[in-house]
Amino acid sequence: MRIVGIDLAGVEGRETGFCVLEKFDVKVKVLHSDREILEETIGTKPLVVAVDAPLCLPKGRASLQVPGGPHLRKCDKDLQSMGIKFFPISLGPMRKLTERGMRLKESLESMGLRVIEVYPGGAQDILGLPRAKVNLRGLREGLERLGLKNLPSSLNPHELDAVTSAFVGKLYLEGAYLPLGDPEEGLIIMPRLPEPANQRLRFHR
């Protein structure tokens, strides 16, 4: 079981975290260009590619270049209902990230790869882990408690979010996932916890 997790940057000049997860063994690196990402992903031959970036537009919206709504997808509204914070896809830099994510998905799917949208920040909330920008060391140690191996102590936030993305991809393949949104529009794949745990998360937030 080989999974790729990608914490995609909005532009090629910034760091994209890239993780290959095989069973519980982790390999992580930083990439930049679309070409690098495509070559590394294709060379890995993963069962699924889990991308931390919006991969679809809201129903009724053909482009982010045209002002006006809708601004939220059904999966975004589902995140809101769970009390999970996120940035809307039409907000400033998120536009470039969304456009790049959709372009990357199209390229990977044209090569026969299965691509899912994930949100590591929300997944970390559900799994009871600190977000990368809040507690880098705590997140790394939390991922290790989940069984992941070979995580260097020097990993940056982009790399740890890529590891989290890959872990969600693993849960997806194992069937332990929660699909948020409308399948006809696009889904965000999140970890699935027993219902009491989901209720505690909702009431806590």
Question: What is the C-alpha to C-alpha distance for residues 128 and 4, in angstroms, rounded to an integer?
Answer: 22
What is the chain's Cα-based Rg? 16
Q: Mean pLDDT in the chain?
A: 91
pLDDT at position 182, please?
Answer: 96
pLDDT at position 83, please?
Answer: 93
Q: DSSP letter string over 18-43?
A: EEEEETTEEEEEEE-SHHHHHHHHHH
Q: Assess whether pLDDT exceeds 50 at residue 110.
A: yes
**What mean pLDDT do residues 123-140 have?**
95
Q: Per-residue pLDDT tens for 50-90?
A: 999 999 999 988 787 777 777 899 999 999 999 999 888 87
Domain with residue 105: its CATH number is: 3.30.420.10
Range in 8-17, 56-65, 149-158, 167-176 the model is least confident about = 56-65
Question: What is the C-alpha to C-alpha distance for residues 132 and 121, in angstroms, rounded to an integer?
Answer: 8
Q: Give Cα separations from 97 to 8, 94, 119, 124, 143 (angstroms).
A: 7, 5, 13, 20, 26
Q: Assess whether pLDDT exceeds 60 at residue 203.
A: no
Angle between helices 157-174 and 136-145 (to 10 degrees): 30
Domain span including residue 6: 2-204
* DSSP conformational letter for 107: H
Length in residues, the chain: 205
Please give the tally of structural domains in the chain: 1
* DSSP conformational letter for 112: T
Q: Give Cα separations from 8 to 13, 64, 83, 118 (angstroms).
A: 11, 18, 23, 11
CA dihedral 93, 95, 98, 104 (to 10 degrees): -90
